Structure 1
Amino acid sequence: MSPHRLSKSRYMSGHQCHLRLWYDVNERHLMRPVSETQQAIFDTGHEVGDLACERYPGGHLVAHDYRHIPAALAETQRLIREDTAPALFEPAFRHNGVLARVDVLERIPDGGWRMIEVKSTTRCKPEHILDAAVQLWVLRGAGLDIRDAGVLTLNREYIYDGIHLDLDALFKFDSVLDEADALLDSIGTDVAEMQAMLAAESAPDIQPSRHCLKPYTCPYFEHCTRNIPQPEHGIGELSGINSERREELEAMGITEVRDVPANFPLNELQSIIRQAVIDGSDTVHGDLARSLAEMSPPVRHLDFESFQLAIPRFAGTCPYDQIPFLFSVHTELGEASLESVDYIHEDDGDPRPHLIESLLEALGEEGSICTYSSFERTQLRALAAAFPQYADALGDIVERLVDLLPILRGSYYHPSFHGSFSIKAVLPVVAPELGYDDLEIADGQLASVRYARALAIASPSERRQTFDSLRAYCARDTLAMVELRNALLAVARSGA
């Protein structure tokens, strides 16, 4: 009986978990659907991969897709025999039942080949080395003389000049030949074990554990955990608990926060969370009144939305720089009166100069400006560095910022936060009438994806609909901050 055929991607699934590989081969319908955000990541990978090929002029693409593997294998062998193409893109090789399609196979002038795995990240990660090692195992097993192997990533330090995209500077190559060589024996063993597992009549019995989440969350995680009772307040709610402490508790059979012994080593916040869960009530554990009293009117609330481009498009930017394209400001005018203003950049030019000018007008020169996290502070400083003509004015705004997140973390906890201080975890507790469920766009990652897609939409009405949805989402974030501040003021006044 011939061994069950694998691919590089299936090997990577099996290396994480044999059950994941079993499902990949036999029951893919159980997989979690690919989200818009995930698809955007895949699309970015393809975009970066295509651009990387331009570094090798004269290269030949083996274009046959997964439905025509025999043709891809045959064309690859023909191109190798002809000895004319300086590089091959997506060549196909098979060894011991394992198929590998290589991103770039570069012919070395002195003989042999360089195998290149392209990644749309900015650094070479351990899983990338294993990825390259699997391909090296297949290619050498297929008889190819591989002299070098490495991972091509984006160079986070590259600064686009706005005129010419320098592909040599945009990418950086990390040779991983030695590290990959060291893995070859174990890969051969793994392959045999995976093929034996797939030859069995039933799925392997593997229970969910932390391996389900590393290096990536398994797409079958929801299926595998569907019948596992979840604790009301699991130990994961102990904010910032490390793996060592978690393992200690699990070894003691403890899964609930309320069951953690009083003498178990916890930090201050974790101890507060434990006691709040035991008491079943919220707790004020810091000088909340003083923190809130330090704000000066008119109090404003600011939120940015941004997107990241793997391949920089605007002068002075680097791969994956955050580019703010939208802001919302809510201003408290007294007696429960609010004023709101926003700005969204609606064309595909650099949003930042126009956003800065609108932001300076919206924020005025007086009053505290609330944010929720350090993101806005970081972006304002980045804008000041990129546009020095606005540096003084933006610096003045930074001095007026008040971050509500550390105030909340350092002063107040409610068991219904379930260990999270994200605005979406906190808002249902402090302002249950206000949420995000009614919005078309309800998280920052999706906002980034939808904005980038809207810029490419030809239909003005579709673009307008997306822009309106983005504005509604950003405005909800600043309104949420208003409600949070009011709720904290009420707690401080009541002495709860």
Structure 2
Amino acid sequence: MANMPKSSTARLEHPKTCQALFQLFLQGRAVTKEVDLGVETFARGEEVKSWIQAAQIVIQQQVEPIATTGPHCDQPYSCGFYDYCSKDEPQAEMPIYWLPRLNRQAWIEQGIIDLKDIPVEELNPVQQRVRDCTIRDKVFFDRKGAVEDLAHAPLPLYFLDFETIQFAVPIWVGTRPYQQIPFQFSLHRFTPKGELLQDEFLDISGNDPSRPFAEYLVKCMRKRGAVFVYSAAFEKSRISELAERFPDLAPSLLAINERVIDLLPIARNRYYHPSQHGSWSIKKVLPAVAPELRYDALEGVQDGGMAMDAYLEAIDADTSAERKAQIQQQLLTYCRLDTYAMVRLWQAFSGQKTKGSKHAKTI
């Protein structure tokens, strides 16, 4: 780099944020804009040289260097070699990273890697609860508090979950780079008589699913009844974005947001099982509440990232009809479990039962 001509430049291209980006693409025109980063890049020339020199020294060694794990292993991203580098380090029976929102490195520097060795008075109430449940191998369940949290939401009830996709370079007119575009939802609902029904939407045509998604969501939601989600910010944000894109549907969409109740804080405040290992992800809570329901038993799609990958494969023109049908079923099964998981959590927390389950036709 030191020998590179001073006139050299470094450029970064990123997508233009314009509504007509896809039209530009179809017309063969540029969909990115170029930004000159030459000054910023070459100002770090000596720093990069030092990295190269350090790497060359390591390569020339006959013995693998000793490396200890630490905060650098997660900065700026988690290192894929963490398990390898930590394999010879002392392993805790109950690692401190099970304690949520803990300054882990501060304790490691004091030689503490097991949560049972951390003084209780140094922990906040939630961390104390996790520590106590883990050490004693017991479940915390504030049943009375959970019932009170849910008492103000009578039947009918709805349980809603979205799956989304995002593109660096948008492929649909009216969307922006990295915008979360919903392509699927599952909806379980209790009727006023307590019957459990299920409906769903999935569009793998390759067309922008936003408008049909929004229309069918409005159709399914009726006029009244609490709408339970797990981590409300995600679904509410997507609904607000749909309302902004489709003003004629905005009143109905925003009315759904007004009915949303988040199950996550109820779970966090009222329930903890040692198997959760400090997490209140629904994929951690569900097996504790309903052991017979497992995401890792699903075929093909077991989490949101896999759902995105499956969707991209489904809309690919080279994907066979047979494979597309298989992906469709896997996506539907996965999303159904997300909303049925919320049903089971609601049942456990409220103490109420259902009359059964019925799957509505997928459009």
Instruction: Sort the TM-score into its range (normalised by shorter chain).
Output: 0.7 to 0.9
- 2:221 maps to 363
Any gaps of 5 or more consecutive residues in structure 1? 1-136, 492-496
- 1:395 maps to 254
Alignment partner of 2:206 out of 345, 348, 364: 348
Query: 1:163 and 2:23 equivalent?
Result: yes
8 Å CA contact 2:140, 2:271 repeated in 1: yes
Query: 1:277 and 2:139 equivalent?
Result: no
Shift of 1:204: 1.3
8 Å CA contact 1:150, 1:173 repeated in 2: yes
8 Å CA contact 1:297, 1:366 repeated in 2: no
Structure 1 301/308 Cα, relative in aligned 2: closer, same or farther at 3 Å? same
Query: 1:450 and 2:302 equivalent?
Result: no
Amino acid at match of 1:259: D
- 1:432 maps to 291
% identical equivalent positions: 32
Larger Rg: 1
- 1:177 maps to 39
C-alpha separation in 2, matches of 1:400 and 1:319:
30
TM-score of the aligned structures, taking structure 2 as reference length: 0.86
Secondary structure of 2:23 counterpart: coil
The 5 Å alignment of 1:65-464 reads 137=1, 140-141=2-3, 143-154=4-15, 157-160=17-20, 162-165=22-25, 170-171=32-33, 173=35, 175=37, 177-178=39-40, 180-226=41-87, 228=89, 230-241=91-102, 245-264=103-122, 266-284=123-141, 287-333=145-191, 337-374=195-232, 375-439=234-298, 440-456=300-316, 457-464=318-325
Secondary structure of 2:188 counterpart: strand
Question: Which fold has the larger relative contact order, with Cα–Cα distance below 8 Å and residues 6 or more apart in sequence?
Answer: 2
C-alpha separation in 1, matches of 2:296 and 2:48:
46
Q: C-alpha offsets along residues 146-192 of structure 1, whole Å, 9 cap, x if unaligned?
A: 3443433345x4433552249767446262524x3443223323322
> Mean alpha-carbon deviation: is it higher for 401-410 or for 473-482?
401-410
8 Å CA contact 1:160, 1:313 repeated in 2: no
Amino acid at match of 1:274: R
Secondary structure of 1:331 counterpart: strand
Structure 1 158/239 Cα, relative in aligned 2: closer, same or farther at 3 Å? farther
Secondary structure of 2:350 counterpart: helix
8 Å CA contact 2:71, 2:105 repeated in 1: no
Secondary structure of 1:346 counterpart: coil
C-alpha separation in 1, matches of 2:132 and 2:290:
23
C-alpha separation in 2, matches of 1:303 and 1:329:
7
TM-score of the aligned structures, taking structure 1 as reference length: 0.64
**Count of residue pairs the alignment pairs up:** 346
Q: C-alpha offsets along residues 80-107 of structure 1, whole Å, 9 cap, x if unaligned?
A: xxxxxxxxxxxxxxxxxxxxxxxxxxxx
Amino acid at match of 2:138: S
C-alpha separation in 2, matches of 1:220 and 1:476:
33
Q: C-alpha offsets along residues 410-446 of structure 1, whole Å, 9 cap, x if unaligned?
A: 2322222111111111111111110112212101111
Q: C-alpha offsets along residues 266-291 of structure 1, whole Å, 9 cap, x if unaligned?
A: 33422332333344322246932221
The root-mean-square deviation of aligned C-alpha atoms, in Å, is 2.5
C-alpha separation in 2, matches of 1:210 and 1:274:
22
